[in-house]
Amino acid sequence: MDEVDLKILGMLRANARESFGNIAEALQISKATVSRRISRLESEGYLAGYTTVTNPSKVGLMRALISLEVVGSATNSVIEELRKFQEIESLYKVFGDHSLVCEVFTKSVDSLYLLIQGKLLAIPSIHNVEVDILIERMTINPNADLNMIPQQSPAAQQS
């Protein structure tokens, strides 16, 4: 991975539908080089997929983070239970005060409360639940991860 690869990834992150031609022009390389590099980034797993980002508030949803403390070594069985709940989009295993953090979408504070009280706390191994309702997402540095990747010299990287 070199500086050109990182710039390609940054451009695709900003607009996953960016044309090879626009990328090539911006980076002053050929479209064929862009195509080869993107194919390599995909095949080597650096580029794991393309996605569409929706605006939850526009469709009447609210987003929250729910931190769960799991008692004992039941984390995997709790994860299997959590897969049943359509409100949970993402699940993170974490180190810290909690074992798991769920990113959830609900229609209201009342439906969030019902998710917690009626579903999550009904799972026997869940000991403690903390909730943060997300108000606004502000991207401060969209390429923080790309900026932290050590770069190879251009000579070490084949185009």
For each of the chain's 159 residues, which pLDDT tens digit applies? 899 999 999 999 989 999 999 999 999 999 999 999 999 999 999 998 888 888 888 999 999 999 999 988 889 999 999 999 999 999 999 998 899 999 999 999 999 999 999 999 999 999 899 999 999 888 899 888 888 887 665 555 554
Residues 103 and 43 in one domain: no
Q: Locate tokens 């974490």: which residue?
A: 94
CATH number where 12 lies:
1.10.10.10
**127 and 73 in one domain?**
yes
Beta bridge partners of residue 102, listed in sequence order: 66, 91
